[in-house]
Amino acid sequence: MTNASQSAQSGTPGQQPLQVPSSAVAIDPKIYIQQEPYYLTEVQYERIKAGQPMAITIFMNLLLTGAGAAFTVLGQAAANLVSGKSANLDPAAEWTAIVTIVVAALAWFGARFIPGKYKRTMKAIDDHFKTTPATRHFGGKP
Predicted pLDDT of residue 40:
80
Q: Per the confidence metrics, is the pTM higher than 0.85?
A: no
Answer yes or no: are the C-beta atoms of 76 and 89 closer than 8 Å: yes
Q: Are 28 and 141 in contact (CB under 8 A)?
A: yes
Say whether pLDDT at 140 is over 60: no
Name the band, by pLDDT with cuts 50, 70 and 90, for residue 87: confident
Quote the DSSP letter at residue 38: P
Task: Please report the pLDDT score of residue 139 as a whole number.
Answer: 66
